[in-house]
Amino acid sequence: MRSPAVPAPGVYRRSGIHGAALRRGYEACRRATRATGEIEYAVSLLLPPPLRTATWALYGAVRAVDDLSDAAGPAGEADPGRAARLEAWISAFDTDLREGRGSDPVRRALIHTMLTWNLPPGFLHTLFEELRQDADGRQFATWQEWRHYNSLINTPLVLRASSLLLRATGLSTEPEAIAAGVPDVAVACQTAVEAVYLTDALVDLSDDLGRGHVPLPQEALDEAGVRRADLLARRTTPAFEELVRRLADRARTWLDRTPPPPALHPAVGVALGAYTDLYRLRLKAAAAAPAALLHRRPALPRGARLRLLLPARAKAALAWGLFPFPVRPGPPEPAPTTTPEGPGRAEGAHLPASGPRPAVAPTPHPSGARPPRLPGEATPRHVAIVMDGNGRWATARGLPRTDGHRRGAEALVDVVHGALEIGLEYLTVYAFSTENWKRPAAELQALMYEIPQIVRHLVDENLDVRVRWAGARSRLPADVVEQLLRFERLTRDRTGLTLTMCVNYGGRAEITAAAATLAREAAAGKADPGAVSEHAFAQYLYVPELPDVDLLLRTGGDHRTSNFLPWQATYAELLFLDTPWPEADRRDLWDAMGQYARRTRRYGSVPRVVAQAAAP
């Protein structure tokens, strides 16, 4: 059985992939999968078109990024060009994902798959982080380190693939949820991942050595009496050959120990069975000629491969015929006549067919209070708030601190309505600082739940609010990142208030990250150090379009800014209120804006003299 060189266009049509540019992206991913993942590609052909194309996008894109990041040169030296390319790819991916588009073919297909299947981007970011570290050439001292690496990089990827397969059974549960509830499943999954990646470490040995990497833990080499230098010089020894046989045995035992996952679509069961059988075949081929592994990757024996795949294909086709694939991915894209490659088309999978709904007006405050009229030139454009005092408010009432955060969320909703009523352009709120990770786990958990919930509430209310997120990804749970990016996408066409949620925000972290990106671009020749101005630098901040803060308000009685917006608020008027945040509402915002209107801002100049009194 030969893999078809070019898939019938029907595969893409039946996957809801229409635009020519998008198809090119999927084609690039398919080719990368076929070239680098012989087994994955063969198994993808056992899946129905929507799952097949999604597999190509996930696998192919990861291989494309991985290729960029194999940063050690032949002599094991770091190649800064590759690290810079990786960084550029990741940062373009972030921008593209925010905007729901793809500015190169592979990213286009990957983002299309993520949006179509609503996959959380968190696992890719973990992967990117690890690839960044790989840029110096990864070495594992112990099996424990090797396992940790797998659990960070490979397990999440396998879980995402499993999540797609689970959907073929009609289950909407995520594999993580099953694994969390059934510890045996979690262990089985980890064991399977380790079996697969140990096998790959053996079969990819020659490629890795070519880049100066030894993909096996030093501990394993030491125990077997294998010298690293011999491996790098591709010298075989009896100890090395014995090590390969032992590792192949170990991987085979792990594979045999993995029970088939329960409750699967019969065709998915066939595909997974074929996958493990092909890995057994691969192990056999590796163990049969250990010395050859130092020079080339072993091919799967053609005859055995066919004996395995032909019946699997027939069985899978029969099973898909009897139990058709139950899920349709997102609705087909709009006709390619309108902006065929334009941004945001993939988001169509999530917006109602009729397009975004018109925004609704803010609801008035229950007291009947109306916003004051402020003189135009004295109205702040950008108000930033440190929403502080939730915990103390709750403690003073004998309530858990988390109740304070819940009430604080309600206060924010009211303040947003008030900001719309008074016509404020930018409201930026400090919801969680980089320093707040020092809090107890239960409080962190509550905040990580509460924060996306408030934003979801505001988005669902369908107000004229454009949501932006300012903050660092690291340490934020993947689903929180996913939701914040999604809310940004869903509201990007709103023109009323821009609400910037500072979540995992630290002012110094923001400036440092901007400086690091700029430095990387300068090193790569993409930015001119001589042209760095304040304006140019600000383009690297989390939300570049954010104007200077006019009024910075802090509730809760403390008089400090706690690492909030140091770049943007250098000339802000400061106002500190004793009111704890849960007790604040839109009237406090309006009052504060009124006070602002009465202040004189000089920006370093001398006060304007309105009229000179005549000398007596």
Contacting residues toward ligand IPE, per CB under 6 A: 386-392, 430-433, 435-436, 447, 556, 558, 560, 562
585 residue type, one letter = D
Query: Residue 500 binds what, of ligand IPE, Mg ion, none (CB under 5 to 8 Å, by partner type)?
Result: none
Q: Closest distance between ligand IPE and the C-beta of residue 398, in Å?
A: 14
The bridge status of strand 382-386 relative to strand 426-433 is: parallel
Nearest to 260 by CA among 208, 320, 188: 188
- Write down the residue that tokens 């980890």 correspond to: 190
Nearest to 176 by CA among 473, 487, 478: 478
Q: How many CA atoms lie within 13 A of 423 on its CB side?
A: 7
In the complex with ligand IPE, which residue's Cβ is closer, 257 or 397? 397
In the complex with ligand IPE, which residue's Cβ is closer, 1 or 574? 574
Q: Closest distance between ligand IPE and the C-beta of residue 472, in Å?
A: 14
Torsion over CA: 261, 267, 270, 272 (sign): negative
Which of the residues are catalytic? 388, 436
In the complex with Mg ion, which residue's Cβ is closer, 314 or 574? 574
Alpha carbon of residue 610 to chain centroid? 55
The bridge status of strand 426-433 relative to strand 551-554 is: unpaired
In the complex with ligand IPE, which residue's Cβ is closer, 121 or 389? 389
Query: Residue 386 binds what, of ligand IPE, Mg ion, none (CB under 5 to 8 Å, by partner type)?
Result: ligand IPE
CB count in 10 Å sphere of residue 475:
11
Q: Footprint of Mg ion on this chain (CB under 5 A)?
A: 388
Residues comprising the chain, all counted: 616
Q: Closest distance between ligand IPE and the C-beta of residue 475, in Å?
A: 14
Residues 6+ apart with CB under 8 A from 548: 382, 568, 569, 570, 571, 572
Kindly state the DSSP code that residue 438 receives in the 8-state scheme.
Answer: G
- Write down the residue that tokens 């004295």 correspond to: 378
Query: Residue 432 binds what, of Mg ion, ligand IPE, none (CB under 5 to 8 Å, by partner type)?
Result: ligand IPE
Q: Are 212 and 73 in contact (CB under 8 A)?
A: yes
In the complex with ligand IPE, which residue's Cβ is closer, 50 or 556? 556
Cα–Cα distances in Å, from 597 out to 369, 372, 379, 420, 422?
Answer: 19, 11, 6, 18, 13
In the complex with ligand IPE, which residue's Cβ is closer, 443 or 464? 443
Q: Closest distance between ligand IPE and the C-beta of residue 512, in Å?
A: 18
Cα–Cα distances in Å, from 414 out to 36, 181, 312, 546, 592?
Answer: 54, 38, 59, 22, 15
Torsion over CA: 212, 217, 220, 222 (sign): positive
Q: Closest distance between Mg ion and the C-beta of residue 10, in Å?
A: 59
Helix (H, G, I), strand (E, B) or coil at 384: strand
In the complex with ligand IPE, which residue's Cβ is closer, 370 or 475? 475
Q: Closest distance between Mg ion and the C-beta of residue 556, in Å?
A: 6
Q: Closest distance between ligand IPE and the C-beta of residue 40, in Å?
A: 43
Alpha carbon of residue 79 to chain centroid? 25
CA distance 209 to 48: 37
Full DSSP string of 51-67:
HHHHHHHHHHHHHHHHH
Query: Residue 22 binds what, of ligand IPE, Mg ion, none (CB under 5 to 8 Å, by partner type)?
Result: none
Nearest to 162 by CA among 268, 32, 26: 268
In the complex with Mg ion, which residue's Cβ is closer, 110 or 386? 386
Residues 6+ apart with CB under 8 A from 17: 23, 26, 53, 112, 333
In the complex with ligand IPE, which residue's Cβ is closer, 327 or 444? 444
Q: Closest distance between ligand IPE and the C-beta of residue 320, in Å?
A: 49
Q: Closest distance between Mg ion and the C-beta of residue 412, in Å?
A: 15
Residue 573's DSSP bridge partners are 551
